[in-house]
Amino acid sequence: MKKHMTEQAQINSIESDAQLPRNRDWRSHLFERVDIASLVLFRIAFGAVMLWHIWEYFKIGVIKADYIDPPFHFTWYWFDWVKPLPGSGMYLLYYTMGILAACIMVGLHYRISCLLFSLLFTYCFLIDKAYYLNHYYLTCLVSLLMAFVPAHHALSIDAWMRPNLKSQTAPRWALWLMRFQIGVPYFYGGLAKLQPDWLRCQPMKIALAQRADRFPYLGQFFTEDWMVWFFNYGGLVFDLSIVPLLLWRKTRIPAFLAALFFHCMNSVMFDIGYFPWFMIFATTQFFEPNWPRRVINFFWCGLGGRTIAKSSVEQQRFCSTLTPLQRWGSALLMAYVLAQLVIPFRHYFYQGDASWTEEGHCFAWHMMLRGKYCGVRFYATDPETRETMVIDLRPFLTTRQMGKLGKDPHMVHDLALFLRDELARDGHPNMEIRCLDLVSMNGRKPQLLVDPQMDLSKFDRTWRRAPWLVELHESLRDRAWLMPIAEWEQHLDMKQLLEGTPMSQTRRKARQSMPSGIVDDNQLSVAQGQN
């Protein structure tokens, strides 16, 4: 009885939020023990969500459409060497990721499974820039962090096979590291919305109008100003306040209910895959670390069951000294946190609006900030005869790639280099490649994104400011430009836009005498990019 009372007192000490002694190092606080229950539940949920995501990829044929069929991929700078595996390699890779996700879920060879899953998922993520989504980036980070978080010390096959691994507690840093990583997209997503276009509700107004037909009854209100303002400023306030509200015990329950509503609405309204469900499970990390035990005890005892045992204490609450390994670990932890705090601001090192230039837009948690509608046409000019022809992009790009091409000047340049090499292989060396790229961002009147006078094939790839990029000069309109892309050329001064370029006097040529991909079609290729 005395032993039980002593153990209970230690447990209460672990689960309490007592103020730390002033003379204690902050790093010691990170290595104190807390209940492992919430980390275990997130491990199971993460593995299950990833397994479902991979199953969806197989079911709807994404692997073949995105990795096997396209002859060209928009690679990331410095990662040109990342290519899809040949043959059925990509199928094998996704089968492997599915097995690894299942291993993470049940806690089998947990650490190596997390590490391998992170590497393989990141490999797929780096194959094509056109497939970038913020939640894919978040998955890369979280799966890597989980390899270091001891979420397999309970309710896992590893703990069952190796009893000495069993533990009902985990170091506090593991919990706070996951909270930090989950909180970053929320907070930085809110900061990114503090820009003129969002504050004037234009991206949300266009997004809601496009989805009004999906909802027979509610959709009729999507064009009303009050509804647009509700979604627009509700999202802004939610992103900026949700983390502090989740951290404060008194507002934690209503804040989580707000997050639940927010993510369920996103799942219904926007095609963003597993992201809402991933974030719902991840947000539970802000509750007390023993909340799963409390919930199980509440319902189980109500059914007449016995109380689930609380976590046992395996070491004292306070760590007076740290080992050298713990000191190095805390330094690496702080370096990672600092990097995640700084990287989202890198777009400030580029000139212009990142939503327009796309320079620094990725990896900054910019979500739903811009809707771009793009009309793209590539031209090839023979340097000797000065004969200019239109290039058909359909043999080279998928619909998904086309949807992202026109919005990013670096992707336009990457494709120009590929087309140059393709033409050279077909017996047309030294061809000049130019692009007409008309972009309407957030309802603005379409303007050039890429200088049509520049021969893009003469420039090497660079991560610096693109010299062929045209700065944004169209102002935001009170009434969005909603002209169909096929009619843009009828309402824009195309002669002025193309003046001084070989495209201004494009000559037609019979298809039979041209290499594959060159057609006598003078229509803009439609590209729509929204994120």
Q: What 3-state class would DSSP assign to 108?
A: coil
The answer to whether 33 touches 306, Cβ cutoff 8 Å, is no
Which neighbouring-strand residues pair with 518?
391
Q: What is the per-residue pLDDT for 355?
A: 92
| Statement: residue 22 has pLDDT above 60 | no
406 located within any domain = yes
Q: What is the pLDDT of residues 363-378, one digit of tens each?
A: 999 998 888 999 899 9
In a domain, 366, yes or no: no
Task: Give the pLDDT of residue 213.
Answer: 82
As a whole number of angstroms, the distance between CA 396 and CA 409 comes to 18
pLDDT of residue 314: 42
Whether residues 269 and 173 share a domain: the answer is yes
CA distance 93 to 126: 14
CA distance 313 to 118: 32
The two structure tokens encoding residue 281: 């499970």
For the stretch 120-138, pLDDT in tens is 999 999 999 999 999 999 9
Does 292 reside within a domain? yes
Q: Identify the pLDDT of residue 498.
A: 75
Query: Do 407 and 336 sit in the same domain of this protein?
Result: no
Structural domain includes residue 458: yes
Reply yes or no on whether the pLDDT at 14 is more than 50: no
Q: Is residue 18 part of a domain?
A: no
Place of tokens 């809402």: 276
Whether residues 91 and 228 share a domain: the answer is: yes
Instruction: Give the residue with greater pLDDT, 255 vs 529.
Output: 255
The Cα 14–Cα 22 span in angstroms is: 18
At which residue do the structure tokens 């771009």 appear?
A: 372
Using CA atoms, how far apart are residues 185 and 133, in angstroms rounded to an integer? 12
Query: Is 304 in the same domain as 382?
Result: no
Is the pLDDT assigned to residue 222 strictly greater than 80? yes
Q: How far is CA 500 from the centre of its chain?
A: 40
Note whether 409 and 450 are within 8 A (CB). Answer: yes
Q: Are residues 317 and 437 in the same domain?
A: no
Kindly state the DSSP code that residue 65 receives in the 8-state scheme.
I
130 and 254 together in one domain? yes
> Distance between CA atoms of 335 and 152, rounded to whole angstroms?
25
Shared domain for 325 and 380, answered yes or no, is: no
Q: Which two structure tokens, joined as six digits, stand for 502?
A: 């070989």
Position 491 scores a pLDDT of 81
Helix (H) or strand (E) holding 170: strand 169-171
∠363-369-372 over CA atoms, to 5°? Answer: 105
Q: Looking at the structure, do residues 377 and 329 belong to the same domain, yes or no?
A: no
Give the span between the Cα atoms of 124 and 187, in whole angstroms: 27
If phi > 0 it is left, if psi is from -120 to 50 it is alpha, else beta; for residue 347 that is alpha
Q: Is residue 16 part of a domain?
A: no
pLDDT value at position 500? 66
Alpha helix (H) residue ranges in 303-374: 324-342, 354-357
Q: Are residues 153 and 233 in the same domain?
A: yes
Work out how many domains the chain is built from and give that number. Answer: 2
pLDDT score at 330: 78
63-98 pLDDT, tens per residue?
A: 999 999 999 999 999 999 999 999 899 999 999 999
CA dist list (Å): 135 to 278, 354, 363, 366:
9, 19, 10, 11
Q: Look at residue 9 and tell me whether its pLDDT is greater than 80.
A: no
**Statement: residue 15 has pLDDT above 60:** no
Candidate from 201-210, 403-412, 420-429, 501-510 with smallest mean pLDDT: 501-510
Residue 200 has pLDDT above 60, yes or no: yes
* Percent of the chain predicted with pLDDT > 90: 58
275 and 389 together in one domain: no
At which of 310, 345, 380 does a domain end?
345
* Residues of the domain holding 410: 372-530
Q: Are residues 388 and 249 in the same domain?
A: no
3 state DSSP class of 232: helix
Q: Answer whether residue 140 shows pLDDT above 50.
A: yes
Tokens, residue 479: 């009434």
Q: Is the dihedral of CA 39, 43, 46, 52 positive or negative?
A: negative
HSE of 157, CA atoms in CB hemisphere, 13 A: 12
- The predicted-structure confidence for 293-344, as pLDDT tens digits, reads as follows 888 887 776 554 444 555 544 444 445 566 777 777 778 888 999 999 999 9
Domain boundary among 345, 363, 397: 345
Residue 118 maps to a domain? yes
For residues 316 and 378, membership in a common domain is answered with no
* Within-domain flag for 353: no
Each residue of 250-294: pLDDT tens digit? Answer: 999 999 999 999 999 888 888 788 999 999 999 999 999 999 988
Is 480's pLDDT higher than 90?
no
pLDDT per residue over 142-187, tens digit each?
A: 999 999 999 999 999 999 999 999 999 999 999 999 999 999 999 9
| pLDDT, position 220 | 83
Separation of alpha carbons 17 and 2, rounded Å: 24
102 in Cβ contact with 151 (< 8 Å):
no
User: What average pLDDT does the structure give for the chain?
Assistant: 84
